[in-house]
Each structure stands twice: as structure tokens, then as C-alpha cells.
Amino acid sequence: MIAQVPEIRISQAQLLSEPDPSGEQPPAEAASQQVSAIRAYLLARGNSALADRGFHWLMVLCALSIFGIVLLILTELVRSSSQVWNQFHFSFFFKAYFDSYTGLPNYWDPVNGHFSALPFVYGTVVSSLLSLVLAVPLAIGVAIFLTEMCPKALRGPLAFLTELLAAIPSIIFGLWAVFVLVPLMREYVNPLLVRSLGWTTFFTDENPTGLGFVTAAVILAIMILPIISSLTREVMTAVPHSQREAVLALGATRWEMIRIGVLRNARIGIVGAVILGLGRALGETMAVTMVIGNSPEIHRSLLSNGYSMASVIANEFTEAVSDLHRSALMEIGLALFIVTIIVNVLAQLLVWAVTRGAPARVN
Amino acid sequence: MKAGENNLRSKIRALTDNGVTALAILATALVIAPLVAIFGYLIFKGATSLNLAFFTQIPKPVGVAGGGMANAILGSAILLAVASVLGVPIGIGGGIYLAEFGRGTKLANAVRFTADVLNGVPSIVMGLAAYSLIVLPQGHFSALSGGVALGIMMIPTVCRTTEEMLMMVPHAVREAALALGVPNWRSVLSITVRTASPGIITGCMLAFARVAGETAPLIFTALGNAFWSSSLNQPIAALPLQIWIYAQSPYDDWHRLAWAGALVLIVLIVVAVSLVRYVTSRGVLKGAS
């Protein structure tokens, strides 16, 4: 009897949590039945039963509102973009118009009713991928340094600084980029890129404005770095210490330990972190709008001006010339929503696959 | 022969190890550099243009010296108040469900997952949804629609931080309350939530700071306003919107105001983030455990 006493816990969380392995033993089972009997008595007692049930359902309602929001956004965007969808269907995202005089492509001309999202899709994809190329090695480097190499005293402040970077609003990145980064790119980086990488034909025209895909990618990389590195850090900390110790015991150097013991075990989560960073880069609006150049054209050169899906919405929505124009922008928004949802679901699944066993961490 | 080979290999391994360490330090330095650059510029440019007029005057026409962002500060405060009224109770409720009622259930996992996914949805999409939900039926831009867009964005963040804070409350506290015969709802609200309240409040502040800097969802909901306005039914100015407008302008005076606005915004955000860090690192539940 005395042995059973510690088993009695009138705590909801305990009852709802998965059964203990020890729950298979008959005495403990009896105890848990006993607990639910006490609980049933408590719940059935007087008016608190009604209040309790009401409170419970109110909280469930709050939780369900999260699903409601997703559905609401989806239905609103589908409804508002139906005009363009009925007219163009999927060709909205691939079609190319050509100017009858010059023969040059003219994808986006709202005044004359030419709507094709192709240059925006191109701009979003190119700037996001380019930013990943810049951000991923740095982010993983930072994560490795912070989890495996950094002296303990430095770890907290450095982690805080990267967190701070994540908290800076997009508009401030944009402001800084316009007044500091763009002149820097125009004067030094772009000419250097043309000189050293011009032969690849991706860096041909020396953009005199300093705006363009590369500048957008640099600022995007700075913005998505903290997300990728903090998630990478999280999955790397989730790798059990025994893995590291086992590799070290075989005589590995620190880097070999990181490569074999940590990175290999955390690779799925790191891919998830990178995809999450991609999701952020795809939807980033203000900073990109301020530096990408805002011209709906497709050029081979990465230094030329471009446009992105989020930027065209931000720039043109309030000044849309027709209902069709507004509907086209809504359609771009819908595409952005669906793509980021898919990317985020994928990323979360990958990250959860690694960190599920680890305790919850407050960032 | 064999020994020499081994010697060489271990030398290469040691060199690689040092090389990687150097690269990792370099990467960290490269990440800290833009942060320092941004803060340095903000403080340098912002502090030199910040004055009393910034907080007390509304924007002046081009060419007229002076002027400030008082109306934008008021506008941001109103927008954030609307957003908090919508976002904080629903977010906390969702968090309570996740931590107290639904722990381990499929529904709770689905909610948690959706909240994390919703966190990654671009803010401009929220603005589009609020536009189509409120601005279109009303027929004009309004502070209300901007507040709703921001409020929706707050819900997932508040929900997840509330959950994490409530998870840190020890079971013994709940058990003690229930053992005294307190109804469950009372125990949740005045014992569990109360114990975790410093954490929950800072979590709300974090969400608050995040949406305070959001521009994209306000462009076609709150729209911006060059004059005083406190009506929920009218377009309203907001600090980030005003920074955007000024940053795109060709006037030096306006650029200076944009830097000053950015400094005010960043101070607000840094304070919130530091508070969160302080509370979570010190342990929310000093009194409880």
C-alpha cells in the first residue's frame, strides 16, 4: 500500500501524458484507475464541473483558431484572385509577352493588360537561392563554433548577438542596405565580381546603380543567417554526447569528431534548417524591395536589376490600375503563401525528426 | 617508411583541424560584422538626428526644416494596441491548451505544428488577407485592418512561448492547487499561469517587438497618414511605414528622420529581446521552485 502512494497524482498533465513503461505493472495500473476515479469525482462536483468544461473548450477554441487563420488566409486569397485564375490558369506563371515593335519581352504591363508572373518568380528564386549559397556555409560555421569550439564564457553573448540579428526588423535592414550596402556594392564589389567572374557570363554588366540580385542576396543572407544557425545549433545540441565521446575515443581530432559524430547525425535537421531559411528568404519583402532594383525583366546577369514576388505586391498593390491588376497581385500572394507553407512544413518535419527526443528549449 | 607516412597523415589531420577552427571563427566574425555595422550606423546616424521635435511634431512638407514622427509613434501605438487585444488573449489561450489540456494529444501536436508553419508565412501575405477581409468590404484603408493583420501575426508566437513557459512550471504546483480542492480552471489561471506570468509577459513583449517592426502588412491596410489621426476607421501612420516612405525619398532631411525612426524602433526591440533573454536565463519560476 505504501509503495502505491507516490503513484497518486491528481494532475491532468500526468494523466494525459503517454503511459509510463512502469504502467504495465498491475499495481501501478490500479493506482492510475484510482486517480481517474478521484478526478471524475472532482470534475463532477458542483458548478466547477461546468466551469471547468467551459474553460477547457474556450482554450480548445483558441488553439483551433490557428487552423482557422490558415483557412481564412487561403479562402480570402483564392476568392480575391479568382479573376486572374479564371482568365490565365497556370499560364500566369510561365507566359511571356513580346512587344510587337521591339520584339523584346514585356512580361508585366498592367496598363495594357499584360500579366505574367514569370520575372517575379525568377527574381524570387534567384535571389533566395543565391542568398542560401552565401548564408549556409556561414551559418553552419557559426553553429559549429558556438556548440563545439567556443569557450563557455563567450557562448552566451555570441548566441545573444545572433539572436539580436534575427530581431532587427526588415525595414531597418533595408534602410541600412540602401545607404551603406548599395554604395559598397556599386563602388567595390560589383566591379570586382565583373573582373574576376565575368568569364562565367553571370556577372557581365556592371550595374551602375549598385542594386540588383547580388545586393538583394547579400542582405537576404544576413537576414536568414540567424534562423539557419540557431536551428542548426539546436539540432547539433540534440545529438547525444555519447556519439561525440565514441568518436573521440577512437582518436579523432576535433574536426573529425564534429564531422563524423555531430554533422552526420544532425544532417537531416540541418537540411531542415536550411529549408526554413529558404522559406524566410522567399517571403522577405521590405529589404528586398529596397535593393533588388524593381524592374520586371529577366536577365542572365546576376548584377542586373530584377523584381521579386513579394516586392511587386508591396510596390504596386495600393496603386493597382485595375481589378485585374489587383487580382494578379493577389494571385502572386497566393502562390507565395502556398509555396512558403509547403517549404515550412517540409522544414519543420525535418527539424522535428532530429530534435523530437530533446527537451523543449526556449530561444 | 610506414612511420613517416603516418606522421605526415597525422600532421595533415591536425592541420585540417586547425583550418576548420579558423574557418569557424572567421564565419562567426563575418556574422557579427554586419550586426556591428548596422548598429553602429543606426546609433551614429540616428543619435545625431534625434531631437525633441522628433517625438512632438508631425512631418513637415519637403523643404521645411524640422518635423518629426509624433503621429507615426501614436499610430504605431494604436496599431499595436489593436494587435495585442486580438493576438494576446487568443495566443495565451492556445498556449494554455497546448501545455495544460492537450499535452501529448494529436490535436495539440497538429496545433503546435501549424503555429510553427504560420510563423514562417510571409508578413505581406497577412496584409493581403487583411486587405481582402476588412479593407475591401469597408471600402477604405483603416487602422483596424492594419491592427488585425499584426494581431494575426502575434498569435503563433504568443501561443508557442506561453506553452514553453507553462511547461516549465513544476507539476507539484498544480498538484498542490488541486489538492486544496480548487477547480481546474482556477488552478490553471491563478496558479499555473500566474507562476509563469513573467515568462508569458516577456513572450508577449517579444511578439509585440516583432510586429512593431513589420512594414509589409501595413502598406495596404493602415496605408500611412501625414497628419494626426487616432480613429480606427481612418488610415493611420506607423513608424516602420514612415521609415519606408522617407528612405525612398530623395531628401536628406527625410533620410535623417528615417534613421532616427529606425533607432527608436531598434531600441524598443533590443529592450524586449534582452528582457526575454534575462527572464529565461534566470529561470521564470524563481518563486515556485
- Range with lowest mean pLDDT among A24-38, A42-56, A182-196: A24-38
For residue B5, being part of any structural domain is answered with no
pLDDT at B275: 80
Q: Is B282 contained in some domain?
A: no
CATH number of A189's domain? 1.10.3720.10
Contact call for residues A171 and A287 (beta carbons, < 8 A):
yes
Nearest CA in chain A to B91: A62
A34/A94 same-domain check = no
C-beta atoms of A179 and B98 within 8 A: no
Is A90 found in the same domain as A136? yes
**Which of A69, A77, A158, A259 should one mutate to test binding to chain B, selecting the residue with the greatest count of B CBs within 10 A?**
A69
Q: Is A330 contained in some domain?
A: yes
Number of domains in chain B: 1
Same-domain pairing of A113 and A239: yes
**B265 inside domain:** no
* A159 pLDDT higher than 60: yes
B14 in a domain, yes or no? no
Looking at the fold, whether A37 and A97 belong to one and the same domain comes out as: no
Is residue B189, in this structure, part of any structural domain at all?
A: yes
> Do B257 and B246 form a contact (C-beta atoms < 8 A)?
yes
pLDDT for residue B210: 87
CATH number assigned to the domain comprising residue B177: 1.10.3720.10
Give me the count of residues in chain B. 289
Q: What is the mean pLDDT of each run of 10 residues along chain B (289 residues)?
A: 78 92 93 92 89 86 81 93 95 94 90 92 93 91 94 94 90 89 87 88 86 92 87 91 90 89 91 79 52
In a domain, A320, yes or no: yes
| Window A:308-327, CB contacts with B under 8 Å | 310, 313-314, 317-318
The answer, yes or no, to whether residue A49 has pLDDT greater than 90, is: no
Please tell me whether residues A39 and A148 are part of one structural domain: no
Is there a single domain that holds both residue A234 and residue A328? yes
Q: Tell me, yes or no, whether A11 and A118 share the same domain.
A: no
Report CB contact under 8 Å: A66, B111.
yes
Q: What mean pLDDT comes out for the span A74-78?
A: 94
- C-alpha pair distances (Å), A293 with each of A104, A153, A341, B255: 19, 43, 27, 19
Interface test with B, best of A154, A233, A286 (most B CBs within 10 A): A286
Higher pLDDT, B22 or A45: B22
State residue B288's pLDDT score.
Answer: 42
Structural domain count of chain A: 2
Q: Do A172 and A212 belong to one domain?
A: yes
Looking at the predicted structure, is the pLDDT value of residue A156 above 90?
no
Q: According to the per-residue pLDDT averaged within each range, which of A28-37, A161-170, B149-158 is highest?
A: B149-158
Q: Tell me the residue length of chain A.
A: 363
pLDDT of residue A18: 46
Q: What is the mean pLDDT of residues A229-248?
A: 90
From chain A, the residues in CB contact with B113 under 8 A are 345, 348, 352
Structural domain boundaries enclosing A93: 65-355
Average pLDDT for residues A291-307, to the nearest whole number? Answer: 89
Contact in structure between B266 and B240 (CB atoms under 8 Å):
no
Query: What's the pLDDT score for residue A46?
Result: 58
In a shared domain, residues A11 and A146: no
Mutual angle of helices A118-144 and A213-238, in 10-degree steps: 40
Q: Contact B13/A256, CB-based, under 8 Å?
A: yes
Give burial (CB, 10 Å; 0-12/13-18/19+) of A73: buried
User: Could you tell me if A117 and A88 lie in one domain?
Assistant: yes
For residue B271, being part of any structural domain is answered with: no
Angle made by CA atoms A244, A245, A250, in degrees to the nearest 5: 100
Cβ–Cβ below 8 Å for A169 and B132: no
A chain contacts of residue B272, beta-carbon cutoff 8 Å? 167
- At A44 the pLDDT is 62
- Amino acid A359: pLDDT: 44
Interface residue B178 vs chain A (CB under 8 A): yes
- What is the arithmetic mean of pLDDT over A127-135? 96
Q: Identify whether residues A203 and A310 lie together within a single domain.
A: yes
- Whether chain A has a CB inside 8 Å of the CB on B188: the answer is yes
Inter-chain touch B116–A336, beta carbons under 8 Å: no
Query: Following DSSP, what letter does each residue of B23-84 receive, concatenated?
Result: HHHHHHHHHHHHHHHHHHHHHHHHHHH--HHHHH-PPPPTTS-----HHHHHHHHHHHHHHH
What pLDDT does residue B75 have? 93
Q: Hey, is the C-beta of A76 within 8 angstroms of any chain B C-beta?
A: yes
* Set of chain A residues whose Cβ sits within 8 Å of the Cβ of B196: none
CA dihedral sign of residues B162, B163, B167, B172: positive
pLDDT over 80 (residue A23):
no
What integer pLDDT is reported at residue B103 of this predicted model? 85
Is residue A173, in this structure, part of any structural domain at all?
yes
CB atoms within 10 A of CB A19: 11
Query: Does residue B258 lie in a domain region?
Result: no
Determine, for residues A60 and B273 on separate chains, whether the beta-carbon distance falls below 8 Å: no
Judge: A16–B98 Cβ closer than 8 Å, yes or no: no
What gap in Å lies between CA A102 and CA A105, rounded to an integer? 9
| Mean pLDDT confidence for A134-161 | 91
In terms of residue numbers, what domain contains B149?
73-239
- The letter for the amino acid at A132 is L
pLDDT of B258 reads 92
The answer to whether A14 contacts chain B (CB < 8 Å) is: yes
List, as ranges, residues 48-87 from B with C-beta within 8 Å of A: none
Q: Are B257 and B68 in contact (CB under 8 A)?
A: yes
Same domain, A224 and A318: yes
In a domain, A208, yes or no: yes
Nearest to A283 among B37, B122, B210 (CB): B122
Q: Contact B247/A341, CB-based, under 8 Å?
A: no
pLDDT at B54: 87
Q: Give the C-alpha distances (Å, rounded to integers) separating B263 from A176, B49, B146, B240.
A: 12, 10, 23, 11
Identify whether A363 is part of a domain.
no
Beta-carbon separation of B175 and A9 below 8 A: yes
**Is residue B268 a part of any domain in this protein?**
no
